Amino acid sequence: MGVVIARTGRLARLGDPLAYAMDRAAAALGGRLRLVGRDSRSDAAGARRAVRELVEVERARIVLTLAGTRVLPAVADACEEAGVPCLSSTFPWQVYHHGGGPRRWAYHFCWGLDDIAETFADLWEAAGGTGRGVGCLWNDGPQGTWSRHPVHGFLPAARARGHRLVDPGGYREPATAPAGHVAAFREAGVDVVTSAATGADLGLFRREAARQGLRLRLLTCSRWLAYPPAPTAPGGEVPQANVATLVYWTPSHPYRSSLDGTTAAELAEGYERVTGNQWLQPLGLAYALFEVAAHALATAGDPAAPASVAAALGATRLDTVAGTLDWTSGPAPGIATVRLAGGQWQRGRRHPHELVVVDNRRVEGLPVGGELLPLDAVP
């Protein structure tokens, strides 16, 4: 197995759970497969170089990755050029599937933009009823563009729930002047805002909202909110405190690995013990990558033949530490889906801030960990 891992650059934190999962999977596989990693350097050129090395030098039969907006498609496209199956995750499936050309060798599992919209709408309604105005703090990059997409994006599901979306237009990252967005939200009477901003841009927006007197009841945000909040603003503010977000994996999820029987709780505990860092949501999906790849290689008629491995991936339905992943009934060819719950970053007991599940209606067997707090609650 070849693994494209961000070990340097801006996506390096995403590489941490994948590196840990790779080491743990290697031990679980007991030498039956050779696992080799290469650094993507957090950019598309580095990702393509990593794939070439894995395929041409290491003779990888399958390439795995968790990556970002530009890096993950670069890995998939490089695998396509090399004629080697690619298995990936942590990228909304519509953006992955519709955002590139036809891919014969690409297999992916994740949630959809519509799933984010439905989960966020659950939270908006929990904070104050249906049919409310929701401000859209979306950038002018791929995240904002796809969120606005009239067919494949965030908008159709949110509007179908009766929500009026207020979108003043995209901003360029990093944000420098969110005053226009704040003013537009004030004029529209908005007290709920949704976003996919970075932590730094979220902090800038919250400070500007306070300066203009915009009182927000709730802020929902995806993308960077997979990671524990950290002070990134002047005075040690924590921009993500009490921000609600999507939950795709936690130690409380009722799942177990097909490789070694590891539970979600045991996987998170092992990560914290070995790395000394707080568990991250991508950890469960990272370990599931190795589960699915091992299953495909074991069930392929000829594990040395790319077409045979690809066929095995397409026929996979497997219970993993990230839940049941099913490529036989996905929303599009090569796609399996992951269920979402609603969560919020709140003051924690073991860590300064912890991701608390506040709405579990879409994930069977996942316990609720607390109530949804107002945005201005003590962080």
pLDDT in tens, 208-241: 999 999 999 999 999 767 677 665 555 667 888 8
pLDDT classification of 130: cutoffs 50, 70, 90: low
Long-range contacts of 327-330 (CB under 8 A, 24+ apart): 327/107, 327/109
User: How confident is the model over 306-318, as a mean pLDDT?
Assistant: 98
pLDDT in tens, 291-308: 999 999 999 999 999 999
Ranges assigned E (strand) in the chain: 2-5, 36-39, 63-66, 86-89, 106-110, 133-137, 164-166, 192-195, 218-221, 244-247, 317-320, 323-326, 335-337, 341-347, 353-359
pLDDT classification of 99: cutoffs 50, 70, 90: confident
| pTM of the complete model | 0.96
Helix (H, G, I), strand (E, B) or coil at 138: coil
- pLDDT over threshold 70, residue 136: yes
pLDDT in tens, 33-88: 999 999 999 999 999 999 999 999 999 999 999 978 889 999 999 999 999 999 99
Q: Are 294 and 29 in contact (CB under 8 A)?
A: yes
- The pLDDT score that the predictor gives to residue 325 is 98
Select the more confidently predicted residue: 360 or 96. 360
Whole-number average pLDDT of the chain: 93
Q: Are 40 and 12 in contact (CB under 8 A)?
A: no
- The pLDDT score that the predictor gives to residue 23 is 98
Q: Residues 228, 275, 90, 349: is their CA dihedral positive or negative? A: negative
Domains and CATH numbers, the chain: 2-111+250-337 (3.40.50.2300), 114-247+341-359 (3.40.50.2300)
